[in-house]
Every structure is written in C-alpha cells, then in structure tokens.
A and B are shown apart, each in its own frame.
Chain A
Amino acid sequence: MHELALTEDLVALIGEHCAGRTVTRVVLEIGKLAAVVPDAFRFCFELCAEGTPAAGAELEIVELPGRALCRECGRECDLDSAFERCPCGSFSLQLLSGEQLRLREVEVM
C-alpha cells in the first residue's frame, strides 16, 4: 500500500526534472529486496500521473538482483526476495544490494 505514496513521490520527482516537457517514458529501478511490489507501482502510476507531464508515459521497471553476505557460512549469495535464506540454510544475512528504489531516467519530448 505504501507504493501509492512512493508513486506520488516518483511523479513529483519527474515533475521537478522535466521542466514542463511531456514525458514519454520513465525507467524505474526496483531492487528485489526493496519492500515494494512492482505491479503495485504500475497500478498506481497511471492514476498518479494523470494531469501531470508524466500522464500517459510508459513505465519501465528494471528489477535489480538481491545480494547478501551470510553470517553463518561467510559466503555471498543471490536473493530473489527478502524472505529467502542462504543455500546453507541460514536466515542470518547481511544485505549487500537489492534495496534500490530509484528513478533511473525519463524520456521527454
């Protein structure tokens, strides 16, 4: 549900940078360990963008992989979600990357 608030911030950020030009495409990076649901962003984006320069823009979501260091076995592992464990079975993971929530770029006309 917080995706709605975050999408409002996304549309505001776009508005700050597009200087009134029409936005045709938005590229958003979402890490697989960020506590958000990409589909919820897609759902909210159309609603939030209405009446702004981003109205009707295509939203591309790039999902970035999760990476963690296991405190038990000392090895690094890939994570597809924050609910996963290391292949050794441990939940004791130090997250290294995958929590991004970033507006990468926009295309304007």
Chain B
Amino acid sequence: MCVTCGCSDPKPNREHERATSVRLRKPRGPERTLKLERSLLEKNQRLAEQNRAWLAERSVLAFNLMGSPGAGKTALLEAIARFAPELGALVVEGDQATERDAERIRRAGCRAIQINTGTGCHLDAHAVLHALAALAPEPGSRVFLENVGNLVCPALFDLGEALRIVVLSVTEGDDKPLKYPHMFRACDALVLNKIDLLPHVQFDPKQAIEHARALNPRVSTFELSATSGQGVESFCAWLCAFGSESAQRTPESAQPGSSP
C-alpha cells in the first residue's frame, strides 16, 4: 500500500506525496455547523494540475481520448502508431478489466500501461499519476490516455491532459452530441470514425458535426477510418502541429522541480 495516501500502489513517489498531502483545518471551538464550501472535484483537480506540471517539466503532451465502448479508440491509436511513428506515442489504457488493449498497442509498436478500473467508469487523475510514473515518458513524447469507454463520466474528470479528443463512430448515431452534451461541450477535437461504413448506416456526418459545433463552436473535427486508414494522415498532421506549437511554448512555462 502506498504510504502517502493509502492507495494500492506499492511504490510511493515524490510527486504523489506532494499531490496528496492534505492540510487539515483545526477545529475552532464549540461551533456545531462547519461551513466548508469545498468542491467534490478538488482532489481530482489538484492531482490533474500535478500531472499537468509533471508533463510540462518533461515537455510531454497528454491527450485524453474518450468515446463509447467500441467507438474505435484503440484502433485509432493503432492507426496513429502506423501513420505517425514520429509522434512517439505512448499509451495509458483504461478499461474495467483485462490487458487486451495494452497488448494491442504493444503489438502496434508502442509502449503501453494498462489501468484496470474495476467497477470504476472513468479514469481519474490519481490513477493517471501512477501510470505516468510507471510509463516514464521520454522528453518530447506524446501520451495518449485512452479513457474507459463511456460518454458520460469521463467528461467530469480532468486528467492533466493538453487536449480532449472524443471518438464517435458512425454506427452510433449522429445525434449523440445532443444526447451527451457534457462530453461534446468539453472536447477540443471530435473524430468521426468508421467512415468506411457510411454506405451501410444511417449517419449524416454533417449533422453530427453541426450538433457538436452547436454545443462547442471551437471544436476541431476529423472524419476518418482507423481500419482503412482513410483520413488518418490529416488527423496525425493536426496532432503533430499541435505538438510543435505547444513545444515552443512549454520550455518557458515549465519550472522543473516546482510543485503546482
């Protein structure tokens, strides 16, 4: 058990200790009502900022990849490994059970760490903190955090990522952005996957993008097929361009050794 916070990781690390140290407020006299005004998300937020600083110190960018089970998130990562080896992609896989996705990613030639959330329906910043330490990304690399397949819960939990990417496949229905507004409002990029299946399904990509833009006017959109490879190159080019823009910014903003 990790001695700094009681989680099940056997190896406590310095970042973790800093992240989870909690200042207790001293009880003040006989008052019966304690006004607290504390967000339930503050612990996750604190750890997410910790992750963000840790990544910035190493000039590593993290992308939070979200979407329904079966949307093709892992297939997209395999395609990225194939089309853009220069991205230096590393992967943290989040699933309730099994190592299957991490094994797929390793077969595609990338390093991967699997997180099994058990009954958990989302990745949180604490799990990612441990996974990042174990993954030990090289400076300048890109880490994809493949979230648990789910269009609801992951939207709430910041992991310390630079970008949020939602994968929506054409077999799911073009009204999903309106039905799951939290997820689509909070993302930076929307990837419409499996477009090779468009002749066989009732899915209007324009409609899906319109719905997503209505909620989130700034969202970047991509239409591709991770299995056929169609459209993957332009998505990879966008990821690379984002990386190099950010890389120019990070050295000034990163302060090695500082705690957030």
A interface list, Cβ under 8 A from B? 1-2, 4-6, 9-10, 12-13, 16-19, 21, 34-36, 71, 82-83, 90-93, 95, 100-109
Contacts and interface: CB of A to CB of B under 8 A. Distances in A.
B41 A82 contact: no
B179 A83 contact: yes
Nearest to B154: A2
Contacts of A18: 34
Interface of B: 22, 24-27, 32-41, 43-44, 119-122, 124, 152-153, 155-157, 178-179, 181-182, 185, 211, 214-215, 217
Contacts of A6: 40-41
Pick the most buried of B36, B120, B122, B156: most chain A CB atoms within 10 A of its CB: B36
Nearest to A26: B36
25 contacts: A2-B152, A9-B44, A13-B40, A16-B25, A17-B38, A34-B156, A35-B152, A35-B156, A82-B182, A83-B181, A92-B217, A93-B215, A100-B39, A101-B39, A101-B41, A103-B36, A103-B40, A104-B36, A105-B35, A105-B37, A106-B33, A107-B32, A107-B33, A107-B34, A109-B32
Contacts of B38: 13, 17, 102-103
Pick the most buried of B40, B44, B121, B152: most chain A CB atoms within 10 A of its CB: B40
Nearest to B24: A16
Contacts of B122: 2, 5
By secondary structure, the B interface counts as mixed
Contacts of B37: 102-105
B252 to A, nearest CB: 30
A105 B33 CA distance: 7
A32 to B, nearest CB: 13
Nearest to A104: B37
Contacts of A106: 33-34, 36
Nearest to A24: B32
B36 A71 contact: no
Contacts of A82: 181-182, 185
Nearest to A9: B40
Given A2-B153, A19-B27, A91 B34 contact: no
Contacts of A17: 24-25, 34, 36, 38
A2 B121 CA distance: 6
A30 B104 CA distance: 40
